[in-house]
Amino acid sequence: MSTLIVDAANVVGSRPDGWWKDRAGAARRLHEQLLVADLPYDDVVLVLEGQAKGGVKAGRDGHVRTVHAPGEGDATILEQAQGAAASGRTVVVTADRMLQARVGGVGAQTLSPGWLLEQL
């Protein structure tokens, strides 16, 4: 099984499109794009933190599972990567170098937000 874990704050924050005025709306738009995208992964995990959690309910919607981080998203992303890496190929989308190193330590690969945005 292959899993793609999306650091929503990092992906949304990579485009200067006014997302900071409506974090919940930006999260909802990203979720909608992920639902219709033809990505080569069995499972897509969207990790939301802070105000962005108001845009999408936690839970599964098709092949996209939304997870609400109780605090900052990095710890939740690492937790999701640890669980997924045990069952197959795991890729985390983030530009956060510290997080890239942490998820690499549990066997996950990383891709940039730019890669994901090109796929959407």
Domains of the chain: 2-119 (3.40.50.1010)
* 23 touches 50 (CB < 8 A): yes
- Phi, psi for 82 (deg, rounded to 5): -60, -45
Residue pLDDT tens, the chain, 120 long: 899 999 999 898 777 676 667 789 899 999 999 999 999 999 999 999 999 999 999 999 989 999 999 988 999 999 999 988 888 899 999 999 999 999 999 999 999 999 999 998
- The beta strands (E) that lie in 9-102 are given as 43-48, 59-61, 64-68, 89-93
The model's pTM is: 0.92
Q: Which long-range contacts (CB under 8 A, 24 or more apart) does 70-75 make?
A: 73/7, 73/8, 73/9, 73/47, 73/48, 73/49, 74/7, 74/98, 74/99, 74/102
